[in-house]
Amino acid sequence: MKKLVALALTSVLATSAFAFPVKPITLVVPFPPGPTDTVTRQLAEAMRKAMPGATFVVENTSGAGGTIGANRVARADADGHTLLVWHIGMASTANLYRKLPFKALDDFTYLGMINEVPMTLIGSPKLPANTYKEFEAYVRSNGGKLNMAHAGIGAASHLCGLMWQSAMGLKEGMTTIPFTGTGPALNALLGGQVDLMCDQTTNTSGQIEAKSVKAFAVTTSKRLSDNALLKDLPTLQESGLKGFDLTIWHGLYAPKGTPAAVSKQLNTALQAALKDPEFIAKQKALGAVVVTDKRVTNEGHKAFVADQIKKLGPVIDAAGQFAD
């Protein structure tokens, strides 16, 4: 009899040890509503389909270019119920911040990459320029008087601004105005409080379509030829900034020490979500491309971020003179 009870107990313990999720899963977005938030809410919907019965809650924890939200997850219980959706900031902040409360490659469990997103250089309708050439000429002669918005040191919009000003070799850098995210930054641009910004198409497409901002260029190495709205925007490369190539990417993370079975289950749900036609279509409509290669695996994701940290080091050093 005793043996039977022991057997029953082990099997109960075994299953309860891997009963996951046992409560809502929080997806931390390290910015207020804006491009990263949009990607996360669309992902949550697709992962919900892949994990029937699971509840996903999106929580915006902003500040310091996304590092406050990232640290919130790095310090959370490693039980798979608190996850982080973050972008290239995982790699840019590793280079830009001398002291971070977490280490990108040590303090997270890598659950897989999500997407790649181009960036657009946009400006206020008041700017006396309609093409990128006119815009760059105006910036070169009025740089010191112009305000460029971004989402904090290490944010994608900040990195883009650094790289663009450095590539132009601007003598006098623009005044850069940090916001908690490019959602609020875009509102400030629409309200005339700032002159320009470099931001993800997931945030700017709507305003470009509505012609409430001027779009001057894309940051990718090739034109977005399959995007009806953005296909005629020149790349910064073809506009004379040799080798300029910036594509933003988003990944999914849990705290280090998350049980392997939980990490596997979350990665399986993520990979199913990335194959969801509805999610793919929604991302495409905003100019984003869902990842389909080995970076969707735990190992592939971590290897990619390690490589990005290495690649961004010299880029940021070269542009560092514009760091706030």
Q: Is 92 a residue that touches ligand MLT (CB under 6 A)?
A: no
> Rounded to the nearest whole angstrom, what is the least distance from the CB of residue 156 to ligand MLT in the complex?
4
Instruction: Give counts: helices (H), strands (E), the chain.
Output: 11, 10
> Rounded to the nearest whole angstrom, what is the least distance from the CB of residue 288 to ligand MLT in the complex?
12
Q: Quickly count: other Cβ atoms within 10 Å of residue 213's Cβ.
A: 22
237: tokens are 């490369």
Alpha-carbon gap, residue 293 to 70, rounded angstroms? 25
- For residue 191, how many C-alpha atoms fall within 13 Å in the half-sphere facing its CB? 8
> Rounded to the nearest whole angstrom, what is the least distance from the CB of residue 121 to ligand MLT in the complex?
13
Q: Which of 199, 229, 233, 316 binds ligand MLT (CB under 6 A)?
A: 199
Q: Which of 36, 60, 115, 219 binds ligand MLT (CB under 6 A)?
A: 36
> Rounded to the nearest whole angstrom, what is the least distance from the CB of residue 35 to ligand MLT in the complex?
4
> Rounded to the nearest whole angstrom, what is the least distance from the CB of residue 78 to ligand MLT in the complex?
25
What character string, x for contact with ligand MLT (CB under 6 A) and - otherwise, covers 140-159?
-----------x---xxx--
Q: Is 67 a residue that touches ligand MLT (CB under 6 A)?
A: no
Q: Quickly count: other Cβ atoms within 10 Å of residue 69's Cβ.
A: 24
Amino acid at 51: M
Residue 46 falls in which region: left (phi positive, over 0), alpha (psi -120 to 50) or beta = alpha
Residue 26 backbone dihedrals phi, psi, to 5 degrees: -90, 125
Q: Is 40 a residue that touches ligand MLT (CB under 6 A)?
A: no
Q: Which of 93, 124, 176, 182 binds ligand MLT (CB under 6 A)?
A: 182
8 A C-beta contact, residue 182 and residue 150: yes
- The residues binding ligand MLT (CB under 6 A) are 31, 34-36, 89, 151, 155-157, 181-183, 199-200
